[in-house]
Amino acid sequence: MLIGKENTLKRLNRIEGQVRGIKKMIEQERYCIDVLQQMQAIKAALSKVEDAILKDHSNTCVASAIASGSSEEQQKKFNELVDLIARYKSS
């Protein structure tokens, strides 16, 4: 469940437009550095969306598992976060 669903969708729509813009830039054979700068902007925007989704996950799913009192649910959510961090470290 995403708390900031509307905001997240707006950001993703904006990113989608940026990707289409890069496609046009490449079709128009624009200067490589300009294309790369736009790509960096997209990466930064995706990172912000990723951060927002992770915060929402912590504030909803993880908090719910903690509040449930179920050690099985708590362990499951903890392991998900550990696995996620491990994937970040290896990329």
Q: Let me know the angle formed at the C-alpha of 47 by 45 and 11, rounded to the nearest 5 degrees.
A: 40
The pTM of this model reads 0.81
What pLDDT was estimated at residue 91? 74
Sorted by where each begins, the domain ranges of the chain are 5-90
Q: What is the pLDDT of residues 17-51, one digit of tens each?
A: 999 999 999 999 999 999 999 999 999 999 999 99
Q: What is the CATH code for 5-90?
A: 1.20.58.1000
